[in-house]
Structure 1
Amino acid sequence: MTQDGFTVSEDTWITLRDGTRLATRIWMPDDAAGTPVPAVLEYLPYRKRGGTDPRDESTYPVFARAGIAGVRVDIRGSGESDGVIDGEYTPRELSDACEVIEWIAAQPWSNGRVGMMGISWGGFNSLQVAALKPPALKAVISLASTTDRYNDDIHYKNGTHLSAQLSWAGTMLAYQTRAPDIALVGETWRDMWRERLEKEPYFLEEWLSHQRRDAFWKHGSICEDFAGFEIPALIYAGWADGYRNTPLKAIEAMPGPARAIIGPWIHKYPHFAWPKPRTDFHAEAIAWWKHWLSDAPEGDVPAVRAYILDGPRPALRREADPGYWIAKDTWTRPEMRVLGIGADGRLCDGPDFPGMGEVFLRSPLDTGISSGEWFTLKPDAEMAGDQRIDAGGSLLFETAPLTDEMVCLGMPEVALLLRCDEDVENIAMRVIDVHPDGMETRASFGVLNLAHRHGNETPVPMPHGESVPVHVRLDAMGYRFAPGHRIKIALSTAYWPLILPSPKAPGVTIDTASLRLSLPLLGAYRRISIPEPADPDPLPRYRMLSEGQTRRSVNKDLMTGMTEYRIHEDTGLEVHPDSGLQSQEIRDEVWSIAPDDPLSVCGQSRWDIRLQREGWQTRSSTFADLRCTETEWVLTAEVHAFENDREVFSKTFSRRIPRDLV
């Protein structure tokens, strides 16, 4: 298809050395045949057709008009590519990517220099492939990604078990059971689909078999060898997303050219993300690619650009967050301001922190319903809400109203002494901005499985009844606490449904005199402005055959005591104007718990995905269930596939996996 300044095609297939064909969509600048151009690869399992089409079609035409080819590839076993996926970021996935980069660099239209880009999965594997140093890969842009697969992804966090792990396992089970499009692969589609249905793994079985930070998680974690990471990297993140730590961790440790941009956003590309303000990602990316792939001058680009949140208020929907952009030309660990507990129970400056004695804390297990979700895709109930909702189950300390502002950028830290009468317990810590009218905004949080207090490779059970020191590095924040506001720290032994409870949930005894909250001060900086995109609505809109809807609710049964957290997402049935493919995704997820029984926790994820066109209709229906005993995780899952509403395949997974100090 020819458009103004470029052509776009899906009739090119990249054949790997083992004969596997990968489906590819290419946006090619018009003059590439005569003057070879640089290329940017995005390499995902999320389907370039019936998946990421809108965001691809917002970005790659802009790149192509700027003289940069865009190459969007579905990884093995996804979309219309051959084969079966074998997990997340596996050696085979990364090896395939290196072959794809080699193929791109060898094309007659290529100048031999390749960039790699992506958000989330694509941001992960961009960094992981760069760490392998394929010769033609010259730079990467990584958004909403991680350098540590164990601690900064959807699986575990400091040894606690994230509920997002089941959510994502259910999502990938549903995504990978979708049929390839008959219009691209022809009558081989049934054989390709059945191979996937029969051989696709249920990822949660593997993830729960690695509850410690072992070799499985170290693979693909570039923090294992930051010193060897030399490829230039531009790294984005959003304060409203779970993946907020990566830019500062990377910029602090990478020896090669690295730049960080952190905005107020959820898990989206920053030219269409919320909360606003957005940034002109296209212009920023093009300048990056022109410098590293075509030798254009870089200009004066600071090491860190960050949006400092200025007291955003929890809301049903956060369209825009108040704040301002700052730049730091260099980044080092920030100076910390240390607060402790005074004799009156207030959070205060030193030098003396006598505290108010020991306090026993055992939170109701449904404490945390205002935590939001770890993986945020909408600026609504997925984001953390008013923190007063969880106050009753938490131990709280706050400052007097501030007389001067305190501006923070970095990762807060909490240290304290506590004891526990069981091997395992969790603790959650939140830094909260208390507004003058009493409303509370979460600025940062951290969680820890106390058995992982010395590290995640070799957990150590708590010594029963003996006080031990605990140190937690909370998630990064960029935040201004204004005069008249208060700073609060909230501690709880539950943070559900964000994390799942420990086997016995025994509670802890905290020595309040030992508690130290260290806040990272902004330090030297300069105020800057960052251009917003010229188009306030850059995503193409497709015709909807049925409208979508989103619902989230918390239900409390006052007779049984059970609390339920319910999620319903329906994309609606849309039709792509060029390919004609119709697609719809429906997700229902329910988490339930009794506030006094940690073994009552249950998560269920259901997906129903439809792909169809005239005379051809497919549907995949999946179900994933997670429960536990004191010693085991209990997993079940189902896959059902339908052609023209007739069931053509079904499969069941069932497994019990021992709990390993989680």
Structure 2
Amino acid sequence: MTKHLTKQHSASRHAFRTAVSAFALVGLAATLPSAQAEDTSWASYELAPPIEASDIETWSEYVTMPDGTQIAVTVYLPADRAEDETFPSLVRITRYLRAVYGQPLESMIPMRRYVGNGYAYVAMDVRGTGASTGRWSVPWSPEEVADYDVILDWIAAQDWSNGDTGTLGGSYEGGAAEMAATTGNDTLRAVMPMFSAFDVFADVSAPGGVRNSSFFERWTGFNSAIDANAYDFTVLPVDDVSLPAAITSHQYNGNIYDTVMAMHFRDDYVIPDAAIEADKNSPHAYIEELEASGLPFYGLTGWYDSSFLTGSIKRFLTIDTPGSRLTIGPWKHGAPLDVTPRGGNPATSFDLVGEAIRYFDEYLADVDTGMDAEAPVHYYTMVENAWKAADTWPPEAETETLYFGDDAALSDAACEGALSDAYTVDYSTGTTLASRWGMLAVDPMALDNIHPEGSPVLSYTAPPLSEDTEVTGHPEIFLYLTSDQADGQFFVYLEDVAPDGSAAYVTEGVLAGIQRQTSEAPYETVGPYHSFLQEDAAILSEDEPVLLNFSMFPTSYLFQEGHSIRIVLTGADVDNFEPPETPPANWDVYRCSEFPTRVELPVIR
């Protein structure tokens, strides 16, 4: 065990790139106030300031697993704690380095805030990553999750622990926080999975059944670099001798990009030399265990949080345990920015760390923060720039239908007959990495004019609105078409067109044509459910129109008076999803009464 007070820490303080990955640093941007952002929390709660770095006691050590794997942990406590003083513990379970060599504690503001508000803070490297030994095969493998159970018990047994733990994190760490609850560990009192998936295949690997190739290529490259300890920053060793052997063991880690790209259906998910079946590393496969835990789960996400957004909603609707909550803000993955369309990209002013402390004070430390008396759902309506509360998701709304019509128009009534519009897919069409899919980037999002005039797309625009119109919920598309290819990728975008002709991206939906069959969902969700199983595959037809019915990602957006609603259809997003290997398809998109292609919008007046 290596133990030291921060006052005595002598490691070099080389530069630390704080913005390299939204995954590894979820919550850091939440400490950066912005005078421009308007997403400040609805709640007011008094918090202690961050503890001074010089007042922190921290050390690292290995905890041995039953199979001999050595898991690296780092503990942070107040240096001046009384001899018999104990704390509830917040636990970060990560594959992105539990601690960085040379990073000054002054810069670790979230940790300093947690410790300053009465918590022990413990970070662990999952097996096969960081300074831990072993092999990482896939996210949240059964072996990895079993380690969580051991670590939670180890924490509870320490003389500085009061025996109670809470898990938290964003993205991968959020999935780990949730999977810890499947172990039945009796020290765990509250869980906060932020920006994380519930159904891994649908929410991450292949949204709409379309493989998320660009993300997994970049994520695998990042993981490989940090696993080899060869990135711009390196892991904090546990001691002076063990790290080289740990890094050597990582060379046998799994390649998740190759795994995902070998999948076409959910039940193709076969992991070489890992004892795991399809979905067994996905929280939704453990609904019974999660419900039986009785724990509160606080899912926090953003309107532009890739397809993780729907994961947070599914979890909230499915795991109906007391104290569970859902917050959806105007954010991308990790909430570094407020990305309301036409609002610029200022740093978010919502205090994610403060909200986490408020939540754990309520459900882990048994402090009455007022949170338990609040509505369980809070969501932010963009353009209106207002937080709203609801008892469930989605809030009650009226369905307003817009039909594809003549002259590229959307109208409130279907035309007569069975007309169609021809479209040839263009594989050069994309939305750039500055989109909802650019999860590894912390750069601003590009939401304006992503389909400029002349783009190879098919679009339909409604007349200007006579009044402000709030769309809150899950827009749903009903698309009738024929295709000369058996499969295809279908991207449908909802846009806001201003009187000057400029357009802002609001949301989108995606579906692989061969996955169009709907079925009963194994969990609570909103809108049509697609199983993505081989047995439900259905090829497209060149002769008879078929229906593709799917939801767009949810939103809460105020379309202003005088603006117009536009639907854009494309057959590729080359920047984020690898196009099909077949030649570009020729579609006939049907409309009018016999095949009423349309979008249904949830409107709140």
The answer (yes or no) to whether the contact 1:343–1:355 under 8 Å persists in 2 is no
Amino acid at match of 1:157: P
The answer (yes or no) to whether the contact 1:387–1:432 under 8 Å persists in 2 is no
CA gap of 1:159–1:271, structure 2 versus 1, over 3 A, is closer
- What is the DSSP-based 3-state SS (H/G/I as helix, E as strand, rest coil) of the residue aligned with 2:467? coil
Matched, 1:507 2:586: yes
What CA distance in whole angstroms lies between the structure 1 residues aligned with 2:140 and 2:566?
39
Matched, 1:234 2:310: no
- Which structure 2 residues correspond to residues 623-642 of structure 1 after superposition, within 5 A? none
What CA distance in whole angstroms lies between the structure 1 residues aligned with 2:300 and 2:101?
22
What CA distance in whole angstroms lies between the structure 2 residues aligned with 1:75 and 1:144?
19
The answer (yes or no) to whether the contact 2:434–2:443 under 8 Å persists in 1 is no
CA gap of 1:472–1:372, structure 2 versus 1, over 3 A, is farther
Q: Compare 423-432 and 378-387 and name the one that shifted more.
A: 378-387
CA gap of 1:469–1:140, structure 2 versus 1, over 3 A, is same
Matched, 1:195 2:249: yes
Match 2:329 to one of 248, 253, 263: 263
What CA distance in whole angstroms lies between the structure 1 residues aligned with 2:458 and 2:284?
34
Amino acid at match of 1:221: S
What CA distance in whole angstroms lies between the structure 2 residues aligned with 1:337 and 1:15?
58
Matched, 1:146 2:197: yes
Deviation at 1:521, TM superposition (A): 2.7
Match 2:317 to one of 252, 260, 280: 252
Matched, 1:128 2:205: no
What CA distance in whole angstroms lies between the structure 1 residues aligned with 2:507 and 2:420?
25
Deviation at 1:362, TM superposition (A): 1.6
Deviation at 1:430, TM superposition (A): 0.2
Which residue number in structure 1 is paired with residue 404 of structure 2? 341
Matched, 1:278 2:349: yes
- What is the DSSP-based 3-state SS (H/G/I as helix, E as strand, rest coil) of the residue aligned with 1:115? strand
Which residue number in structure 2 is paired with residue 476 of structure 1? 554
Which residue number in structure 2 is paired with residue 624 of structure 1? none
Q: Between the two proteins, what is the percent identity of the paired residues?
A: 24
- Which structure 2 residues correspond to residues 590-605 of structure 1 after superposition, within 5 A? none
CA gap of 1:209–1:277, structure 2 versus 1, over 3 A, is closer
Which residue number in structure 2 is paired with residue 440 of structure 1? 503
What CA distance in whole angstroms lies between the structure 2 residues aligned with 1:301 and 1:432?
33
The answer (yes or no) to whether the contact 1:370–1:385 under 8 Å persists in 2 is no
CA gap of 1:402–1:388, structure 2 versus 1, over 3 A, is same
Deviation at 1:276, TM superposition (A): 4.2
The answer (yes or no) to whether the contact 1:337–1:520 under 8 Å persists in 2 is yes
Deviation at 1:103, TM superposition (A): 1.2
What CA distance in whole angstroms lies between the structure 2 residues aligned with 1:438 and 1:54?
49
Amino acid at match of 2:500: D
Matched, 1:520 2:602: yes
* 1:316-365 C-alpha deviation (Å, 9 max, x unpaired): xxxxxx72222223334643322113445421223x44488111212221
Which residue number in structure 2 is paired with residue 113 of structure 1? 164
Q: How large is the RMSD of aligned CA atoms in angstroms? A: 2.8
What CA distance in whole angstroms lies between the structure 1 residues aligned with 2:422 and 2:337?
47
Matched, 1:28 2:93: no
- What is the DSSP-based 3-state SS (H/G/I as helix, E as strand, rest coil) of the residue aligned with 1:245? helix
Match 1:223 to one of 280, 284, 290: 284
Amino acid at match of 2:555: M
Match 1:427 to one of 473, 485, 490: 490
Give 5+ residue unaligned stretches, structure 2. 8-50, 270-276, 340-344, 518-529
- Which structure 2 residues correspond to residues 46-61 of structure 1 after superposition, within 5 A? 46-50=96-100, 57-61=108-112
Match 1:330 to one of 367, 378, 392: 392
Which residue number in structure 2 is paired with residue 418 of structure 1? 481
* 1:492-545 C-alpha deviation (Å, 9 max, x unpaired): 11222222212213232111222111122347xxxxxxxxxxxxxxxxxxxxxx
Amino acid at match of 1:280: D
What CA distance in whole angstroms lies between the structure 2 residues aligned with 1:182 and 1:188?
11
Matched, 1:213 2:275: no
Deviation at 1:149, TM superposition (A): 0.5
Amino acid at match of 1:448: L
Match 2:155 to one of 104, 113, 123: 104
* 1:290-325 C-alpha deviation (Å, 9 max, x unpaired): 221122225222222112111xxxxxxxxxxx7222
Deviation at 1:208, TM superposition (A): 2.7
Q: Which has the higher contact order (CA 8 A, sep 6+)?
A: 2
Deviation at 1:141, TM superposition (A): 1.0
Matched, 1:399 2:462: yes
Which residue number in structure 2 is paired with residue 13 of structure 1? 62
Deviation at 1:96, TM superposition (A): 0.8
Deviation at 1:44, TM superposition (A): 0.6
Deviation at 1:413, TM superposition (A): 0.9
CA gap of 1:507–1:405, structure 2 versus 1, over 3 A, is same
* 1:418-449 C-alpha deviation (Å, 9 max, x unpaired): 11222211111000011222111111111111
Amino acid at match of 1:305: H
Match 1:79 to one of 130, 133, 155: 130
The answer (yes or no) to whether the contact 1:8–1:25 under 8 Å persists in 2 is no
- What is the DSSP-based 3-state SS (H/G/I as helix, E as strand, rest coil) of the residue aligned with 2:305? coil
The answer (yes or no) to whether the contact 2:300–2:327 under 8 Å persists in 1 is yes
Deviation at 1:53, TM superposition (A): 5.7
What CA distance in whole angstroms lies between the structure 2 residues aligned with 1:172 and 1:40?
24
The answer (yes or no) to whether the contact 1:240–1:383 under 8 Å persists in 2 is no
The answer (yes or no) to whether the contact 1:337–1:519 under 8 Å persists in 2 is yes
Match 1:389 to one of 440, 452, 474: 452
Amino acid at match of 2:84: G
Deviation at 1:226, TM superposition (A): 4.1
- What is the DSSP-based 3-state SS (H/G/I as helix, E as strand, rest coil) of the residue aligned with 2:266? coil
TM-score by length of structure 2 reads 0.78
- What is the DSSP-based 3-state SS (H/G/I as helix, E as strand, rest coil) of the residue aligned with 1:251? helix
